[in-house]
Amino acid sequence: MKIIVVHPAHMDYRQEIFESLNKKYDTTFIFTKQGRGQEGVKEEQASIPPEWKSKVLKSDFLIGRKDIAMYLRLIKELLFGKYDLILTSTNWYICWIMAKVRGKKFVFMTEFWHWQDTSFIRKILNRFTKVVVKNSDSIFVMGTNAYRSCIELGIKEERVFMHPQCAMDYSEFPTFNLRTKHNLENKKIILFLGRIVNIKGLDYLIESFSRLEYDETDAFLIIAGEGPERTKYEKLAKERGIKNILFTGRVLKKDISSYYSACDIFVLPSIFYKQSYEPWGLVINEAMAFSKPVIATNAVGASADMIKNGYNGYVVKEKNVDKLYNSLKNVLANDENMKLMGKNSRTIFEIKNNYGSFSETLSLSLEHAIK
């Protein structure tokens, strides 16, 4: 079977999955955003293995933030390429139409689950996406929320294949002593790591921590990452009089293991912002690999699959400062329980963050589509 995989960019957490596809099928990879980050924030992408059949369609011809030339190149590739099936996680409108025009099979690979009509254009796009989902030959969904979304649309269960998202296990990577570097040996470190953009909900985390700092004088908040909203959040922290806080700026991939290793709790306080949210949140998996308690909101897709309340962390309602504060306080209240929650995180990680079963389930969705 000849398949075309359309994906934004090659990342290290996709390497094993894509390698499996490449070995099992005659695969061509098309990357639409290789070399370009998200929302103006640089990201460290993986090198595309030279032995793969692959094409990078990204161009510098932008109108607004849309890469028009890339879209035209993608249409050309799908209109004239030789393949039996398209597997895509991006630009599904174009991919689905081209599959229909060519009479080819189409598999939608998605982690999305929250379809909010925030504008007239968004309403049209959401309706089109639902048409694509309903008329795919099979759907491979990454997470329980995405699975439920498909079932609620009336998709028959036999056409929907589900597996949780998988992330790299950085826990065996070399580390430096972050606590010593920043003189934090006696602190209980709460960590956020990611892009500093509106959907991450950092204003709610900062508000929660401003209360927590009065109760837990040894608590320390590290906000690791870079983004266009960093100055805004630094200003908010200063206005709230927070003393135990550090904005690190961009963290290189080779250093993230040091941050996860040093923290006591990992927090992802993402929110629903306009049409955006956190479809998954791979940092949850990454932190769990280090045996850390995790706290996330209901706007984080991973929370439905990776977090059990009171067992390895807490899921709180997005934008709820009180719930976030209480969850942080509960975890910090008992050192032994905090360590137990961390061990439980690692247990869940080892069960659900399974690249082998991920690849097998993805192959089942492809085989179902082609039969």
Q: Per-residue pLDDT tens for 282-305?
A: 999 999 999 999 999 999 999 999
Nearest to 200 by CA among 332, 345, 14, 38: 38
Token match 């080779």: residue? 254
The fold of the 178-352 domain, in CATH, is Rossmann fold (3.40.50)
Note the pLDDT tens digit of each residue in 159-180: 999 999 999 999 999 999 999 9
For residue 290, the model assigns a pLDDT of 98
Task: Summarize the confidence of residues 70-98 as an average pLDDT.
Answer: 96
What is the greatest pairwise CA distance in the chain?
64
Whole-model pTM: value is 0.95
CATH number of 2-166+354-370: 3.40.50.2000
DSSP 196-235: -SGGG-HHHHHHHHHHHHHH-TTEEEEEEB--TTHHHHHH
> Tokens at residue 245, please?
């806080």
Distance in angstroms (rounded) separating the CA atoms of residues 144 and 165: 10
Residue 293 to residues 35, 157, 308, 326, Cα–Cα distance (Å)? 33, 33, 10, 14
**Does residue 40 carry a pLDDT above 60?**
no
Give percent of the chain with pLDDT exceeding 70: 98
Q: What is the DSSP letter of 7?
A: E
C-alpha closest to that of 327 among 205, 177, 202: 205
- Tell me the H-state helices in the chain: 15-24, 68-80, 92-102, 120-134, 144-152, 178-181, 202-215, 230-239, 256-262, 282-289, 303-306, 321-332, 335-352, 355-370
- Domain locations in the chain? 2-166+354-370, 178-352
